[in-house]
């Protein structure tokens, strides 16, 4: 089932339900897999392939006092791990917020590139935006008020 909301300039982006192939790969139940799901959606890679690659990279992570456990594609992936993975796929980070600037970009029309495939980082979540449409299992836009920290786009 696809829920689609029309968007105009200055309003929240349209939303379409997409699990990134998670259910087709045989996964069931609730999970904190937004990193894996958004990468699978934006890159077009199979969910299982992204899942295994992220967990493979997590095996080489170091732990410490602040970083107790390792990343898991099912329950959450550390920033350094998903940035390393996306860089290996040729994606580059575009920051939209810097220290002291406050929020300048939101999940709304006219504030993100209108075309192309993006992996967008918002507070405690990652989502895919393809040609101006949010593709996720739930609408994270908060009616266009959700602040965007930055996004990944395919490098040229």
pLDDT digits (tens, 9 = 90+) for 90-132: 999 999 998 888 899 999 988 999 899 999 999 999 999 999 9
Helix, coil or strand: residue 122: strand
37: left (phi > 0), else alpha (psi -120 to 50), else beta?
A: alpha
Q: What crossing angle do the helices spanning 34-43 and 79-88 adopt, rounded to 10°?
A: 10
For residues 30 and 140, give the distance between their C-alpha atoms in angstroms, rounded to a whole number.
16
Q: Give the full edge-to-edge strand order of the sheet including 117-122.
A: 14-17, 133-136, 125-130, 117-122, 148-154, 91-95
Output the CA torsion 97→98→99→103 (10° steps).
-20
Can you give the pLDDT at residue 7? 40
Residue among 95, 109, 107 nearest 151 (CA):
95
Check: CB of residue 112 under 8 Å from CB of residue 129: yes
The whole-angstrom separation of Cα 50 and Cα 27 is: 13
Domains of the chain by residue range: 14-154
Kindly report, residue by residue over 5-27, the tens digit of the pLDDT: 444 446 789 999 999 999 999 99
**Torsions phi, psi for 35 (to 5 deg):** -65, -50
The pTM for the full model equals 0.88
25-84 residue pLDDT tens: 999 988 999 999 999 999 999 999 999 999 999 988 888 777 778 888 999 999 999 999
pLDDT band, very low/low/confident/very high, at 138 (cuts 50, 70, 90): very high
Q: Alpha-carbon distance 60 to 58, whole Å?
A: 5
Q: How confident is the model at residue 3 (pLDDT cuts 50, 70, 90)?
A: very low
For the cut 50, the answer to whether the pLDDT of residue 4 exceeds it is no
Q: Give the model's pLDDT for residue 66.
A: 75
**Is the separation of the CB atoms in 112 and 9 below 8 Å?**
no
């Amino acid at each position: 089932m696809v829920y689609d909301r029309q968007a105009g300039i200055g309003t929240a982006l349209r939303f379409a339900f997409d699990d990134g192939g998670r259910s087709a790969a045989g996964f069931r139940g609730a999970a904190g897999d937004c990193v894996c799901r958004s990468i699978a959606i934006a890159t077009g890679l199979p969910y299982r392939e992204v899942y295994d690659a992220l967990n493979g990279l997590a095996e080489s992570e170091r732990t410490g006092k602040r970083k107790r456990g390792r990343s898991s594609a099912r329950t959450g992936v550390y920033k350094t791990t998903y940035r390393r993975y996306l860089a290996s796929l040729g994606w580059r980070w575009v920051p939209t917020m810097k220290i002291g600037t406050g929020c300048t970009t939101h999940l709304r029309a006219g504030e993100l590139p209108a075309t192309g495939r993006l992996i967008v980082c918002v507070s405690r979540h990652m989502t895919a935006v393809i040609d101006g449409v949010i593709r996720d299992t739930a609408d994270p836009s908060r009616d266009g008020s959700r602040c965007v920290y930055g996004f990944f786009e395919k490098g040229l």
